[in-house]
A = this chain, B = another copy of it.
Amino acid sequence: MTKKYVYSFREGNAQMRNLLGGKGANLAEMVKIGLPVPMGFTITTEACLNYYEEGEKISEDILSQIFQALDDLEKEMGKKLGDNEDPLLVSVRSGAVISMPGMMDTILNLGLNDESVKGLAAKTGNERFAYDSYRRFIQMFGDVVMEVEHDKFESIINEVKQKKGITQDTEMDADGWKEVIELYKEKIKDETGRKFPQDPKEQLLMAVEAVFKSWNNQRAKVYRRINKIPDDLGTAVNVQTMVFGNKGDDSGTGVAFTRNPSTGEKEVYGEFLMNAQGEDVVAGIRTPQSIKQLKDIMPDVYEQFINVCKLLEKHYRDMQDIEFTIENGKLFMLQTRSGKRTAQAAVKIAVDMVKEGLINKDEAILRVPAGQVETLLHRRIDPNADVKPIAKGLPASPGAASGHVVFDPDEAEAMGNEGQRVILVRTETTPDDIHGIVAAQGVLTSRGGMTSHAAVVARGMGKPCVSGCEAVKIDYEKGEFTVGQLVVKKGDVISIDGSTGEVMIGEVPMIDPELSDEFNKILSWADEIRKLKVRANADTPHDAKVALEFGAEGIGLCRTEHMFMAQDRLPIVQQMIMAETKEEREEALAKLLPIQQEDFEGIFEVMEGLPVTVRLLDPPLHEFLPNPEELIVEIMELKAKGCSKELQAKQEMLKKVRALREMNPMLGLRGCRLGLLYPEIYVMQVKAILKAACNLTKKGIKVIPEIEIPLVNHELELKTLREIVEKTAEEVFEEEGTKVHYFIGTMIELPRACLTAEEIANFADFFSFGTNDLTQTTFGFSRDDAEGKILPHYVEQKILSDSPFIVLDRKGVGSLMKMATDKGRSVKPDLLIGICGEHGGEPSSVEFCHMIGLDFVSCSPFRVPIARLAAAQAKINHK
Contact = CB atoms under 8 A, between A and B. Distances in A.
B784 A663 contact: yes
Given A667-B667, A711-B780, A782-B662, A809 B752 contact: yes
> Which 5 residue pairs spanning A and B have beta carbons closest together?
A667-B782, A664-B782, A752-B812, A668-B785, A663-B784
Size bracket of the A interface: 35 or more
Given A798-B716, A799-B720, A667 B785 contact: yes
Contacts of A662: 782, 784-785
A504 interface: no
A663 B782 contact: yes
Nearest to A662: B785
A851 interface: no
A816 interface: yes
A780 B720 contact: no
Interface stretch (A296-304, A433-441, A602-610, A771-779): A771-779
Interface string A781-824: 11011100110011001111000000001011101100000000
Given A667-B777, A751-B751, 5 more contacts: A663-B665, A668-B782, A713-B812, A720-B799, A751-B777
Main secondary structure of the interface of A (DSSP, over half): helix
Nearest to A800: B714
Contact of A779 (B632, B750, B813): B750
A664 B632 contact: no
Contacts of A664: 664-667, 782, 784-785
A677 to B, nearest CB: 6
A785 B665 CA distance: 8
A101 interface: no
A879 B747 CA distance: 41
Copies of this protein chain in the complex = 2
A799 B676 contact: yes
A628 interface: yes
Contacts of A780: 666-667, 711, 713, 749-752, 773, 777
A669 interface: yes
Nearest to A672: B799
A751 B816 contact: yes
A486 interface: no
A752 B776 contact: no
6 contacts: A676-B794, A749-B780, A750-B778, A752-B780, A755-B816, A777-B777
Contacts of A666: 663-664, 667, 780, 782
Contacts of A717: 799
Nearest to A658: B629
Nearest to A637: B636
B667 A793 contact: no
Nearest to A713: B779
Nearest to A794: B676
Contacts of A640: 640
A629 B654 CA distance: 12
Contacts of A799: 676, 714, 716-717, 720
A633 interface: yes
B793 A676 contact: yes
A756 interface: yes
A653 to B, nearest CB: 14
A673 interface: yes
B677 A789 contact: yes
Given A780-B750, A798-B716, A812 B677 contact: no
